[in-house]
A and B are shown apart, each in its own frame.
Chain A
Amino acid sequence: MASLPKRIIKETEKLVSDPVPGITAEPHDDNLRYFQVTIEGPEQSPYEDGIFELELYLPDDYPMEAPKVRFLTKIYHPNIDRLGRICLDVLKTNWSPALQIRTVLLSIQALLASPNPNDPLANDVAEDWIKNEVGAKAKAREWTKLYAKKKPE
């Protein structure tokens, strides 16, 4: 494997030495471009008390190309589909090389706190969210209980 770019080494070091609260990201032993990520559900959201697992991959062209991120834990959210794919501007059109892994993960956490059903990826969930927000949130809470890991007290 080609040597790891200095940028990735630096970012990885920083993630370990100065972790973001509520977020962990560890590179895989065999492939240092592949990260196992966990994000805690933000408080006051239907996802609180849950810990969600994600995978993150830095493509060859990183940081010119955005990292690829996907939810591994099942989640009921209008901008995240059944395969865990995420609809988020900074992962697509608004990516800039000046952004980092940590900023991306923070954006995902923010997306959990404020879902955007008007720009949906999972259409059925978004529809539910618009028509019956209370019910949808209850379902999201239920899914969090069912599928996400419990936050230790």
Chain B
Amino acid sequence: MSSGGENDHFYSFDEGDSSSIELYESQNTSEFTIHGLVFPKLTSVTSQESEFDINEDEDGVDTIYDGMLDTPITKNSKRILCEGSVPNLNYECLTTKGIFERMLQRVDHLQPVFAIPSADILILLQHYDWNEERLLEVWTEKMDNLLVELGLSITANVKKDNDHNSHFREVEFKNDFTCIICCDNKNTETFALECGHEYCISCYRHYIKDKLHEGNIISCMDCPLALKNDDIDKVMGHPSSSKLMDSSIKSFVQKHNRNYKWCPFADCKSIVHLRDTSSLPEYTRLHYSPFVKCNSFHRFCFNCGFEVHAPADCKITSAWVKKARKESENLNWVLSHTKECPKCSVNIEKNGGCNHMVCSSCKYEFCWICEGPWAPHGKNFFQCTMYKNTEDSKSKNAEDANKTLKKYAFYYRLFNEHEVSAKLDWNLGQTVGTKVHALQERMGISWIDGQFLSESLKVLNEGRTVLKWSFAVAFYSDASHNLTKIFVDNQMLLATAVEFLSELLQIKNPEVIMKRRPEFYNKAGYVENRTIALMECGRELLCKGICKVVE
């Protein structure tokens, strides 16, 4: 497999893998056909229904992601790809409140079966972790005994020690009441269930408050008789039972973590429910990852709970993250956030998304990643993303460890650079919203026509994410293999494309933006193509075992 010139992408494949050759062909042609043209794919995206659901005023940031990372590329999609396809994931995004409301509906549904009050069914379900089938099973077996067990009915032999005409389950005011919990004697409000165990309201409140976060059934302090949601709200004086239900649903989600996953993003309270997990092994086998998106547009991997990490699979991701955690202490101080200008040595902090740096003091143009001059970057290849395997494979063993560390440091640095860039892109996103507004106001452009900016930003984000994780794949790949070389070429192409697009998005003047609008379409379309190509190429590396975690 040593044939093929440096710029030749059409490496031959052993197994006559025609589909993947087609893939590379189609990319290369698309590279040429899109010049000067409005790329049709992008406009079709903007006309999808979901685009109209979003609120225009949402911080001015358009956070719609219905992009390529959510659904795996299958044979049905427009592009022809290498072997294997996986079924789409059938999932929904919920909140604890949403799940609870659904449970309430189930209670209404079950009411005729049980023929007991709905509030009681709720308690039964709560006890059985909202598992209807198990509850029904036990119910047919035990019936009345179950009600006694869970404190829903009082047995005949439990003596009602206070048979004064108390109003059970109502807060009452009493003079000179002695509470056996606090032992205080006072004029106070009290509460009791039918068991007659009566306590002062402050002890009851304290008791309930401590139990709300546990999510279990709250019973009388002295017997198993259960407090229903109404009772809890009465005692607390405000609707507190919702908190108990919330805790109960949370523990339900925790216990059903095969189908339900919390969105891992900070402060996001969404739960993603995968209705059918049977396709997950297929995803793993074909080195796809089951990426899902919560209602707040956070995308994550349902399998490992990590952020979107294509083209790496979960195994590579976890190995990489583990390694990063282990090595980062050594490396972090090296990879400080400032760099010296290669020419005049003034300290530079990068505060924009693009890696094309212009030194503010000497005007020297250089690449932030390789610190080399910028000039050769723009045109063809992004040489700095290629790891130069300088030494021959002769003196292996002794320097192997050192080399691995060096190789790792190299890729980790790239990974890190793109992570930082992605964060800066996020800031860029904040300004894109204002730019769209400016376009609307100053140029009289309609909202839908201004969407190419946020579309481009979305494409840029996805491109960067894929690029970032591709370095993890590159690190674990056999560098001598031809496919790895193709992969690295693909990385360079995407890196170049991403830089172009990032640079375009830096433009502030609305007139210039509108004038260069076709360029936005071109570059974004190109980045999109390159992103998919890199993802597929990475997956092929994984499928063929060229990229694997070596213990």
Contact = CB atoms under 8 A, between A and B. Distances in A.
Interface string A47-68: 0000000000000010111000
B447 interface: no
Nearest to A96: B221
A150 B149 CA distance: 43
Interface stretch (B181-189, B398-406, B486-494): B181-189
A5 B197 CA distance: 21
Given A64-B206, A64-B210, A97 B183 contact: no
Nearest to A100: B180
Nearest to B197: A98
B105 to A, nearest CB: 31
A10 B182 CA distance: 10
Interface residues of B, number: 12
B329 interface: no
Contact of B183 (A7, A61, A96, A98): A7
Contact of B222 (A7, A61, A65, A96): A96
Interface string A91-135: 000001110000000000000000000000000000000000000
Contact of B182 (A6, A65, A96): A6
B351 to A, nearest CB: 51
Interface string B205-218: 01100100000000
Interface in A81-97: 96-97
B183 to A, nearest CB: 4
Interface centre among A5, A61, A63, A65 (most CB of B within 10 A): A63
Interface residues of A, number: 12
Contact of A6 (B183, B206, B207, B221): B183
Contacts of A9: 183
A10 B203 contact: no
Interface in B157-213: 180-184, 197, 203, 206-207, 210
A63 B184 contact: no
A94 to B, nearest CB: 10
B376 to A, nearest CB: 67
Contacts of A96: 221-222
Nearest to B206: A64
A77 B442 CA distance: 82
B184 A6 contact: yes
Interface centre among A5, A61, A63, A97 (most CB of B within 10 A): A97
B207 A64 contact: yes
A132 B210 CA distance: 42
B220 to A, nearest CB: 8
Nearest to A5: B182
B181 A97 contact: yes
A98 B206 contact: no
Interface in A1-49: 5-7, 9-10
A123 to B, nearest CB: 25
Contact of A7 (B181, B197, B210, B221): B181
Contacts of A6: 182-184
Contacts of A61: 210
A98 B184 contact: no
B209 to A, nearest CB: 9
Given A7-B183, A63-B181, 9 more contacts: A5-B182, A5-B183, A6-B183, A6-B184, A7-B181, A63-B182, A64-B206, A97-B221, A98-B221
5 contacts: A6-B182, A9-B183, A97-B203, A98-B181, A98-B197
